[in-house]
């Protein structure tokens, strides 16, 4: 199911850049995500805004886009794009891609870092504890 969800999010992000984006966004923003859709539940809009603030991408002349593509839609960042950055890992995404992802899962799509406590976080033992 994880690969299907990523494919769906990628497709939605690609569609938002083309014709019919307003219709797609209107229907996607009101869609409810079932609580069992992800191991780590998604965030609400207020939490996304608090944990992942928006900022404008500024690329200097001759810059290659600033560190690679959006990991969700695989599109390059362009000057003036609105982005969001992970609070711990600092991975960057297009704001709309991140919002869609974070409503489904509170984890970073690249490294699975999460700013919220998860059921797995309390039970996990850091690897350093096993080092000799």
Q: Give the tens place of pLDDT for each residue, 7-58.
A: 666 666 555 554 443 443 444 444 454 444 435 678 999 999 999 989 999 8
Q: 3-state class of 5 per DSSP?
A: helix
- Enumerate residues 6+ apart whose C-beta is below 8 A from 87: 51, 52, 115
The rounded mean pLDDT for the chain is 72
pLDDT of residue 114: 82
pLDDT of residue 54: 92
Q: How many domains does the chain have?
A: 1
Query: Would you say residue 119 has pLDDT above 80?
Result: no
Distance from CA of residue 117 to its chain's centroid? Answer: 17
Q: Domain containing 35 — which CATH number?
A: 3.30.40.10
Angstrom distance (rounded) from CA 103 to CA 12: 14
pLDDT, one tens digit per residue, over 59-72 is 765 555 556 789 89
The percent of residues above 70 in pLDDT, for the chain, comes to 53
pLDDT of residue 89: 87
* Strands, sheet with 54-56, edge to edge from the N-terminal-most edge strand: 54-56, 82-85, 92-94
Side-chain-side CA neighbours of 81 within 13 Å: the count stands at 22
If 0-12 CB within 10 Å is exposed, 13-18 middle and 19+ buried, where does residue 77 land? buried
pLDDT of residue 117: 67
- Enumerate residues 6+ apart whose C-beta is below 8 A from 86: 52, 92, 108, 111, 113, 115
Joined tokens for residue 89 = 């890992």
Domain that holds residue 46: 2-130
Q: Which of 51-55, 81-85, 91-95, 111-115 shows the lowest mean pLDDT across its residues?
A: 111-115
């Amino acid at each position: 199911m994880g690969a299907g969800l990523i494919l769906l999010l990628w497709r939605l992000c690609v569609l938002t850049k083309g014709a019919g984006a307003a219709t797609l966004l209107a229907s996607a923003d009101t869609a409810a995500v079932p609580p069992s859709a992800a191991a780590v539940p998604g965030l609400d809009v207020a939490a996304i805004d608090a944990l992942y603030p928006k900022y404008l991408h500024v690329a200097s002349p001759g810059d290659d886009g600033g560190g690679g593509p959006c990991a969700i839609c695989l599109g390059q960042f362009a000057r003036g794009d609105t982005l969001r950055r992970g609070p711990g890992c600092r991975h960057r995404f297009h704001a709309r891609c991140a919002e869609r992802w974070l409503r489904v899962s509170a984890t970073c799509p690249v490294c699975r870092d999460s700013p919220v406590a998860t059921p797995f976080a309390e039970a996990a033992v850091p690897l350093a504890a096993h080092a000799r």
